[in-house]
Amino acid sequence: MTASTTSRALSIETSAIGRDFGSGKTLNRAVGALSLEIPHGELFGLIGPDGAGKTTLLRMMAGLLPPTRGTVRVEGFDPFGKEADHARDVVGLVPQEHSLYGDLTVGENLDFFADLYGLDGEELRTRRERLMSITRLGTFLDRRAAQLSGGMYKKLAVACALLHQPDVLLLDEPTNGVDPPSRRELWELLYEFVDQGMTIVVTTPYMDEATRCHRVALMDRGEIIAMDAPERLVASLDAAVLEVSLASVPNARERATALVESSELVIASAPLGASLRVVVESRNEAALAKALEGLGTLSRTAPSFEDLFLTAIARREKTAATKEAA
């Protein structure tokens, strides 16, 4: 049974799902208690820094890591119950670490995964030819996987994960270590699959990739701190984003950077070419302009997804520090 034969509106559903590692004083709550509803045909992003819990959550969705609490259902199936076999049939996984055999050729890796899925004959030949056409790997069938570029390797991993025609594709940081042109090609490939009705969940630490998703969940320390369409999240930012144009005085960048990074007026900051980019509460804009007199001038600029994320993380850390100090 696959999603096409069910009446469920959701492709993936988690209810207060969480995962702990260790116990007692060494307890690490990798994922808190997260509830998600991802409909069919959505490209959903899990965005966050290393250690946010993205990979742990993805592995629970894939049925590889049992949750400490809560439940998950994929196309209506419980990956950890009696329906585990059905759940595995509808999911394709591209893990972050190497998942292919480097000493096998492209064609041999495809044959290996086909054997795992029990595919052969005309069905396998048709699927294999289609995937090689989509990924443009058809001319590299005799090349060893270890000799592929980063982008070609990831596309082969995607092809292997799609051989059994899953309804859901889970990808863990698929563009990590991939050059920009290959990153673009990989995302174009994902869009094509989504247009065909596939549900895709992708994790990434890259803020620019968040805007490529239909919806995203911002994760930090095992919790979801915001979730919506990227453009709506950016529009919701209730702070001023400013560009600091540096003055032509000695050590202007070093002095301005030190002031910005140590100032309680600033929520988040980052270098931006020959200038600085800062986020402040709107009420503090004038005070920051005064503090930077002689070092640079401020001008408002449109917020980006990175501004949103850095602000959300900074506010969360400030709130946690205030609670600890109380």
Per residue in 51-67, pLDDT tens?
999 999 999 999 999 99
Listed residues 202, 229, 256: the one ending a domain? 229
Same domain for 223 and 284: no
**Paired sense of beta strands 168-172 and 91-94, if any:** parallel
Rounded alpha-carbon distances, angstroms, from residue 201 to 41, 61, 227, 279: 10, 10, 14, 30
Same domain for 282 and 246: yes
Same domain for 197 and 296: no
What is the C-alpha to C-alpha distance for residues 92 and 24, in angstroms, rounded to an integer?
35
pTM: 0.89
Which residues span the domain enclosing 162? 3-229
Listed residues 189, 206, 229: the one ending a domain? 229
Listed residues 229, 252, 283: the one ending a domain? 229
Per residue in 275-322, pLDDT tens?
999 999 999 999 999 999 999 999 999 999 999 999 999 998 888 887
CB 79 within 8 A of CB 166: no
Q: Which amino acid is at 205?
A: P
What is the C-alpha to C-alpha distance for residues 240 and 314, in angstroms, rounded to an integer?
14
Q: With bands split at pLDDT 50, 70 and 90, how would you rate the model's confidence at 96?
A: confident
Same domain for 206 and 282: no
CB 257 within 8 A of CB 276: yes
Same domain for 243 and 216: no
The CATH number assigned to the domain holding 253 equals 3.30.70
- The count of domains in the chain is 2
DSSP β-bridge partners for residue 113 = none
